[in-house]
Each structure stands twice: as structure tokens, then as C-alpha cells.
Homo-oligomer: A and B are copies of this chain.
């Protein structure tokens, strides 16, 4: 791909989408009119008008960048999406499959036969094939492997053997290697002789004859120094490099910290295995933050906006059922106090407040702990300070907002004891929330579980149950 030909502003992109939608609408309108006239289907397809619109649509699509077609496909309902997909130039198919979200990719791939898939994917780089691999049918993957040369086949199999969130899964093979004993002049001639450089090359990798990484030569240094200088004199030796099995999160943080554009990936013997580029890191960061956001709202994964009701419902069931169970469990506490409630029914309308504020406050604490754990900021030497601080905040909030809610309760029910029970329950449940907000993520982290996932559900279940228990318990002791 040349330097961003046809790249568009967001506004223009929206405009293109509108035009595509318009063309699709016209086409469908005609189909409807023709169907109304009860023409047989194959005559309809042949209609001149229909063909005209299709040609206009195809012309429109041919002008667009693969990433923009990917965006348009995401925004179209299934039927329209497949109409457009079938009009796209086949040489863009592979790139578009890479650009769309997982959910939409599935719908596109299921519309393609093995041959089409092979044509689309054969053009891709090895690391790109690896990205698509989980979604490709077994036979297509076999054919693809056969179509690759020995080196690329080995690379593909090696990448596929690593887990999803490792550096190996994110790297590409667009690395240009040179030796340290040549001069910049020779490097410049070599690059001109190659006649091409991989996308996003900002540095050349210096290796010895065993492919062991000796250093990197940033293009910047190549450009500003005297051509007679040997590479060994200019190369940076002390560079950030990653191991194949390094955690992708760690790599992403290193890219952010050191503002990297690319970095070499090496094996345990420090042999160069690939290159990690900032484009892969940007995609990774975005995917991770999307996943987190979806998980927090109780979704298993990204959804195709236009997937079937059935498919979407299944994506939401896991957490919905968990919530159903926890809601059921925490409200069983209320059942224990039914006698108390009958005697003082105001408790029924006050108890959800105690539970809700506990949940909110606990979530505030836990999100900060989860975030600090992700940034590696918490260690044995500072955890005590954190606990003291969070308990302090809970006490302060309990005193201030417990009093406020107690006062409100008094004005509503003119019952000073009820108001004090309300204030006390609030304070105690905020303390419970702070303790849980710290300890749940810390314990999960210690157990090597992801503290981001499910912590909120667990926490809310506990602050609900404890909120009901503390409030109704205090009421039973002091009010009835």
C-alpha cells in the first residue's frame, strides 16, 4: 500500500457511508417495486436499472481504502453488508478481513467459499495470516500452509504456537537486517538495491552471521551521518528488545514509556525473530480497553451490531445469570428479617439505599486498585498505606453522607432511632465496601487471576448482602 492513498477524514468517511446506504436503498426499492410486479427473480437481477446501481456502488467502493470499506461493512446490517462485500475488489478482501472486528469477520468469512478465502489470504503477510488463523476453516489453513515457502511456514507455525497475549502474537516479520562491519554508504546502496522497505521501518536490525541481535541502526542516524562511517560506530547497542513469550501488556507499557515506533523480538539465545511495531501496539491497546469496557458492563465479547437476537442474547447470558444468582443470594438476607420489616415497613424502602451506596463506593475503591495493579504500582511496602487511606475515606464518607442520609430519613419518617440506624448502617457498609474494594482485586491478583473481570459483580454481591444484613440487623436490635 502506498503512503495513505485515499485516506479520508472522519467526516468524509461518514459521507461515503451515507452514499453507500443511499445506493443500497435505491437498489432495494427497485427490487421491491419489481417484486410487486411479480417478475421472476432472475429477470429482476438482470434489470438494467439494478445493474446501473450496482455499477455505481462498485465504483464508489473501488475508490476507498480497505480500512474505510471495513468501517462501512461494520455499519451495515447483515444483508446489505454481504451485498457490499461481494462487490469489493477481491485483492482487498484479505486486508479488509484484518480490519473488521472479530464479530463482523465471522459473518464475512461464512459468506466465502474455500477458494475465495485462499485467494484473499494468500496475499497477506505471514503475521497477518496468523491473525486470521483462528477464524479460517481447517482446510483453508492447510492449503495456505502449503502455499508458503519453508521459512514463512515455519514462522507461521511458530507464531501460532504462542498464546494470544504474548509479544510473538503481535509481532510481524518486516525487519531489514544488516551487518555491523559495513559502512552507511553500503547500507544506503543495499536499501536502493532492495527497492522497498517494509511498512513502518524506522530502524534496521544489526545481526551477526548467526542472526544474533547486536544492535539497531535508526534510519535517522543513517540519514544524518557521513556515509563513510561504519555501522558498528553508529548503531545503538543498548536497545529495548522483547522475548517471544513476553507479556503483550508489558510490551505495550514499554512502547508508551519509551515512545517506541518498533522494537526487535528475540528468542532465548538473543537471535532476531521478528519485529514489534507501534501499529500492532495501538491496535492491542484499543482492543484491551474495549474488552475491559465490555467486561465491566457484563458482556463476554464484542458484538456485531447486527448479529441475530439469539447470538447477542447468548453473549449476555453468562453475566446476567451470574448477576441473577448473586442478586438472589444477597436478597435472601432480607428473608431472615421479614418479621422486622412487617413491624417497620419503612425499612423496605430504605434498605436498597444502604446497599446501593456501598456498591458504588466499593467500586470506586476497587477500580483504583485494579488500575494500580495493572500499572504495577502496588507492592508489599505500600499496601498498608493504601488500606489505611481507603478506610479513612470510608470513615469520612460514612460520617458526612451517613449524617446527610440520616437527616433525610428523619425528615421523611420523624423517627430519630430509624435515622440513627440508617446513618450507622451507611457508615458500616462503607467500611465493608472499602475493605472488599481493596481485598478482592488484591486476592485475585495474588491468585494470578485478572482482577478486572468479575470483581465488580463479586463486590456488589457482598456490599448488597452486607448492606441488607447490617441495616436490618441494626433495625432488629434497636428498633423493634
Task: Using CB atoms and an 8 Å cutoff, list the residues of chain A in contact with chain B.
Answer: 2-11, 13-14, 17-18, 21, 25, 65, 67-68, 71, 74-77, 99, 188, 191-192, 194-197, 199-203, 216, 218-226, 236, 238-240, 246-247, 250, 253-261, 278-279, 281-283, 285-286, 289-290, 292-294, 296-299, 303, 305-306, 309-310, 312-313, 316-317, 319-321, 323-324, 327-328, 330-335, 338, 341-342, 345-346, 348-353, 355-357, 360-361, 363-364, 366-368, 371-372, 375-379, 381-382, 385-386, 389, 392-393, 396-397, 401, 404-405, 408, 464
Q: How far apart sit A221 and B196, CA to CA, in the bound complex (Å)?
A: 8
A357 touches B320 (CB 8 A): yes
Set B76, B285, B320, B341: member contacting A361, Cβ < 8 A: B320
* A367 / chain B contacts, CB cutoff of 8 Å: 293-294, 296-297, 299
Q: Which chain B residue shows the least CB distance to A312? A: B393
**A392–B290 Cα gap in the complex (Å)?**
25
Given contact pairs A278-B278, A356-B464, a sample of 9 additional A-B residue pairs in the complex whose CB atoms are under 8 Å apart? A14-B379, A17-B379, A75-B377, A197-B220, A199-B259, A297-B364, A312-B389, A327-B353, A331-B349
Q: Is the CB of A195 within 8 A of B218?
A: no
Asked if A223 contacts B7 (CB within 8 A), the reply is no
Q: Assess A396 versus B363: contact at CB under 8 Å? Given A282-B285, A357-B324, A382-B75.
A: no
Q: Is the interface of A mostly helix, strand, loop or mixed?
A: helix
- The answer to whether A192 touches B67, judged by C-beta atoms less than 8 angstroms apart, is no
> What are 30 residue pairs bridging A and B, where the CB atoms are less than 8 Å apart in the complex?
A3-B239, A4-B238, A4-B240, A4-B258, A4-B260, A5-B236, A7-B254, A8-B254, A9-B246, A10-B247, A13-B376, A21-B379, A192-B223, A192-B226, A197-B224, A222-B223, A223-B223, A261-B278, A293-B367, A298-B364, A299-B368, A305-B368, A306-B382, A309-B392, A310-B396, A320-B357, A323-B360, A324-B405, A341-B341, A356-B464
Minimal Cβ-Cβ distance residue in B for A99: B257
Which residue from B224, B281, B349 sits with its C-beta under 8 Å from A196?
Answer: B224
Residue of B nearest to A194 (CB): B224
- How many chain copies? 2
Q: Is the CB of B216 within 8 A of A3?
A: yes
**Ranked 7 nearest A-B pairs via Cβ:** A289-B289, A334-B349, A297-B367, A3-B236, A309-B392, A67-B257, A10-B250
